[in-house]
Amino acid sequence: MALSGPKHDFFFLLDHFKCTSQTHIQFQQALTYLQTDDEPDTSIQFTLLHDFDVTLQGPDGQPRQICKTNTSKVAIMKAIEITMQSVPQGGKVVFYFGGHAIEESDQSIISGDGELLSGQEIKSCLNNTLHDSVSVAAIFDACHSGGSMALPYNYEAKWRGIRAKRATRKKQEIPMIQISAARRGQFARSTHFKGGFFGQLTWCLIQYLKSTFVVSGWPQSLCSLINPSSATTDPTIEGLTSYLYKNCDPTGAQSPQISTSHRFAGSIPFF
């Protein structure tokens, strides 16, 4: 599949998590499940907000259409609120945005109704959870988005390796990571591959997660979906940062940025 922008990024993610069937509609959000070899794993749910129609293959092999949804600023914030209030203790949340963002107005993303939603506003919504043990991974495949949530630590590639640098003294209580395609002043477009691609961060992140699943002992039903020969041996924040630096855009025109709430040791606790 060609890398052509947010719509294709969306399909990459759905395919990666084997999201195959629509099971519930609420507030114009499609909640779907992870299809396994046996029964669907309803412990993994998706809230999909997209401004284009989506056709997915159902468990019976027949195409199912998920119509485009309300992607206004209010709808996005409401969807995050509902999700965060329903996450159980110890739960993991992945927030993904693929679309347009601007450098001004606190590095805001642009919602479907043209309203701006800043990184600080998104962080505030993601912090609205009932349990301190909930962890959040926020992924932005968008221009100018690096560091927009103002998390305390930025992971940077130095000549001696990857180092965590303190970016702000503000505290972030619940565990959180922000993975961004480009830094402030940069476009989320790789110029290194075949004349340039949008969506390179999404592609690289999925490849990293696939290879990390193998060494982290994930279920065989998932491991069989990938190529074990591509496995990475470093499933840490430093390993993720290094992988994205090397593979997202080696020219440096698009430099991904990893920011976290704390200094994390050992395997990545967010996926």
The residue-averaged pLDDT of 161-166 equals: 89
Question: Are the C-beta atoms of residues 45 and 91 closer than 8 Å to each other?
Answer: no
Instruction: Provide the pLDDT confidence category of residue 213 given band limits of 50, 70 and 90.
Output: low
Question: Are the C-beta atoms of residues 80 and 96 closer than 8 Å to each other?
Answer: no
According to the model, what pLDDT value does residue 27 have? Answer: 27
- pLDDT of 196 > 80? The answer is no
Q: What does pLDDT average to over the chain?
A: 76
Q: Phi/psi class of residue 178: alpha, beta or left (left: φ > 0; alpha: ψ in -120 to 50)? A: beta
> What gap in Å lies between CA 48 and CA 21, rounded to an integer?
12
Most confident of 11-15, 156-160, 221-225: 156-160
Cα torsion at 170, 76, 101, 173 (round to 10°)?
A: 10
The residue-averaged pLDDT of 241-261 equals: 85
Q: Phi/psi class of residue 21: alpha, beta or left (left: φ > 0; alpha: ψ in -120 to 50)? A: beta
According to the model, what pLDDT value does residue 89 have? Answer: 92
E strands, 49-192, in order = 54-57, 63-66, 92-98, 109-110, 116-117, 135-141, 153-158, 161-166, 176-180, 189-190
Tokens representing 45? 């749910």
> What gap in Å lies between CA 234 and CA 238, rounded to an integer?
8
According to the model, what pLDDT value does residue 54 have? Answer: 73
Question: Are the C-beta atoms of residues 91 and 50 closer than 8 Å to each other?
Answer: no
The residue-averaged pLDDT of 110-134 equals: 93
Angle at which helix 6-16 crosses helix 200-215, to 10 degrees, equals 10
The residue-averaged pLDDT of 14-26 equals: 45
Cα–Cα distances in angstroms (integers) from residue 96 to residues 60, 76, 193, 251, in the given order: 28, 11, 24, 25
Q: Tell me the pTM.
A: 0.78
According to the model, what pLDDT value does residue 45 have? Answer: 72
State pLDDT tens for residues 144-157: 998 999 999 999 88
Instruction: Provide the pLDDT confidence category of residue 17 given band limits of 50, 70 and 90.
Output: low
Of 83, 85, 64, 67, the C-alpha closest to 75 is 83
Q: Helices (H) and strands (E) in the chain — how many of each?
A: 7, 15
